[in-house]
Each structure stands twice: as structure tokens, then as C-alpha cells.
Structure 1
Amino acid sequence: MNKSELLAAIAEKTNQSKAATGEFLDATIAVIEAAVASGDPVALVGFGTFKAAPRAAREGKNPKTGEKISIAATTVPRFTAGAGFKAMVAGAKAKKPAKK
């Protein structure tokens, strides 16, 4: 599902226009990004938590030349799924037949 399909589904479920739904979704994403960027986690009970997580410095390899390179430490966004979301996904997988 891409963003336009998500907007259409939300608009249909909430009986709102796609334009209003788009503004709401964009504002929600902007607030989550700003909070996580400033170091505050955003927890949506049952869905999950968005937070900033440190990533240690490490050695990598240039795939083109095979030369070792050093990758600096940084902070990355991380999402941890909540129990309700995990259960829903696990239940959905259990109902689908296995691919051959």
C-alpha cells in the first residue's frame, strides 16, 4: 500500500475528503518526525513506538573495491511494534495459506 492508497482507505473509513485526510496524515508524520528528532519517543499504545536509537561506529566494506571503510556513529529512527499490532500481523499470517 502506498501513500495515496493509504489516504483513500483512511478517507473512506472516516468519511472525510482525501484532501483533509492528506493534511491530517502529513501533520501527523511531521509531528512524529519532529518529536523523534528532538529525542522524544512517540508511543501509540497497541500500535508501536517511534524513537531515536544510537548506532555505533563500525567498519564496512566498499562493495565496488572491497576496500575497508569506517562508518561513523549516528542516530537513526527506530520503530518497535506494539503487542496488538504484532498479534494482528501474526493472526493474518496464520490465516493465509503458505506459498509454494
Structure 2
Amino acid sequence: MNKAELISAISTESGLNKTESKKALNAFISSVIKALVDGDKVSLAGFGTFSVIIRQERPGINPTTKASIIIPETKVAKFKAGLELSNLLK
């Protein structure tokens, strides 16, 4: 499902028109992004939790030159499915 299909699904489920659904989806996405950038978690009961984890610096290999390199520490967005969602996917 892409963004346009998700907007249509939101519109159908909520009774909002597509313009309102697009605004709601964009507001949700920007709110989650802002929270993650600020270092917060976003927990939606039954659905899941969005958070940021730090991947530690680690050794790696450049596939072109086969030289050893150090991959720097990075922050990565993470999603962990909630219990209800996990049970529905079984």
C-alpha cells in the first residue's frame, strides 16, 4: 500500500474526504517525525511503538576494495509492533 492508497483507505474508514484524510495523515507523519527527532517515543496502544535507537560503531568491509573500515555510530528509527497487531499477524 502506498501513500495514495492509504489516504483512500483512511477516507473510506473515517468518512473524511480525501483532502482531509491527506491532511490528517501528513499531520500524523510530521508529529511522529518531530517526536523522534526530539528523542521521544510514540506509543500507540495495540498498534506499536516508534522509537530511535543508536547503532554502535562497528567494523565493516568496503565491498569494492575489500578494505577494512569502521562504520560510524548512527541513529536509526525503529518500530516495534504492539501485542494486538502481533497477534493479528500470526
Q: TM-score, normalised by structure 2?
A: 0.94
Give the structure 2 partner of residue 93 of structure 1: none
> For the aligned residues, what is the CA RMSD?
0.9
Give the structure 2 partner of residue 8 of structure 1: 8
| Alignment partners' CA distance in 2, 1:52 and 1:30 | 15
**How many residue pairs were aligned?**
90
| Alignment partners' CA distance in 1, 2:34 and 2:57 | 24
* CA drift at 1:68: 1.4
| Alignment partners' CA distance in 2, 1:8 and 1:65 | 47
Q: What amino acid sits opposite 1:65 in the alignment? A: T
Equivalences for 1:51-62 in 2 at 5 Å? Answer: 51-62=51-62
Give the structure 1 partner of residue 49 of structure 2: 49
* CA drift at 1:17: 1.0
Q: What amino acid sits opposite 1:39 in the alignment? A: G
| Alignment partners' CA distance in 2, 1:27 and 1:42 | 14
Q: Which moved more, 1:23-32 or 1:57-66?
A: 57-66
Secondary structure at the aligned position of 1:59 is classed as strand
Give the structure 1 partner of residue 75 of structure 2: 75
Tell me which stretches of 4 or more aligned residues in structure 1 moved more than 3 Å: none
* CA drift at 1:54: 1.0
| Alignment partners' CA distance in 2, 1:67 and 1:19 | 51
Q: What amino acid sits opposite 1:17 in the alignment? A: N
Q: What amino acid sits opposite 2:58 in the alignment? A: R
